[in-house]
Amino acid sequence: MGEARLTERLEVSLNTPAGQCTSSIEVPTTFVPVAALVQPMRRLGEEALALEEQKTLAAGKTISCRMGCAACCRMLVPISAPEAFALKETIGRLPPQRRQALSQRMAQTRSRLEQAGLLARLTEIAETERQRTDEEFDAINRDYYALRVPCPFLDNEVCSIYEDRPAACRELLVTTPAELCQDITANPVHPIPVTLRMSTVLALLWADVTGGPARLIPLPLALEWADRHTADGHNTWPGAQLLEKALDKVWQILNDAFHDRAHQPSGQLPPKPA
């Protein structure tokens, strides 16, 4: 049996543009890999997102996204390095038959991307040591979406890793009719605002602890990227130190958000997370 992991429970309160949220986070007191923070940080992100949902509903709008609505599963999903390592662990726990089926879908996706000339571009994004600009991501996002390649984790139009899906998938919620999402380039699709994107928080955390760029990895290449960087995924840090660094990234993002909305009467700087 593995050694029991000691944890400490902390209450974290955040002031966001949509209101205040409080979340209970269990942080390991031992040395842990950075992937150990993925689940608690996702939960914190979901707490903040719930406030945006409540604000949207209070304004009389309807959130049209439902489980099984898979139009957005043809978009290029960026995930952070910690999420890639956590995803590898998730897939490793699947029964052999499910892993084999997933491996076949991954190979089909890879082949289609290669035929379209996108595989090399996506691999370069995953492996680059240079910080990419939003404009560079936008260009490849458009080319990827034009292919309408289904996510390799999509099984009969349902996410096969729904409980462990990336933060970016959790954060995309729209108020326009679901049918408009079938072609977001031709239709006006309105997502709800998301101030706190946990993929960005975790990417910034990874950059902090490794000294590299705030890396975002295209989801179809995440497992092979994690395989190539297995040694990096096994590096460990004190759990409390990782959480402090992650919360510092959260505070920076919220601080910037309040500055951006400073023209509003209610705009105020949030306190640094405890």
Q: What is the H or E stretch that residue 216 is in? A: strand 216-218
Q: What is the pLDDT of residues 134-160, one digit of tens each?
A: 777 888 988 999 999 999 999 888 899
Q: What is the pLDDT of residues 88-145, one digit of tens each?
A: 999 999 999 999 999 999 999 999 999 999 999 999 999 988 877 777 788 898 899 9
86 and 35 Cβ atoms separated by less than 8 Å:
yes
Domain boundaries, the chain: 7-260
Q: What is the pLDDT of residues 159-197, one digit of tens each?
A: 999 999 999 999 999 999 888 888 888 888 899 989 999
Q: Which residues contact 269 (CB under 8 A, 6 or more apart)?
A: 255, 258, 259
Q: What are the b/e assignments for 47-73, b being 16+ CB within 10 Å? A: bbbebbeebbeeeeeeebbeeeeebbb
171 and 210 Cβ atoms separated by less than 8 Å:
no
* pLDDT bracket for residue 250 (50, 70, 90): very high
Report DSSP letters for 174-214, one per residue: BSS-GGGGGGTTTS---BPP-S--HHHHHHHHHHHHHSS--
Report pLDDT for 261.
Answer: 66
Report pLDDT for 274.
Answer: 38
Q: Average pLDDT of the chain?
A: 88
Report pLDDT for 1.
Answer: 42
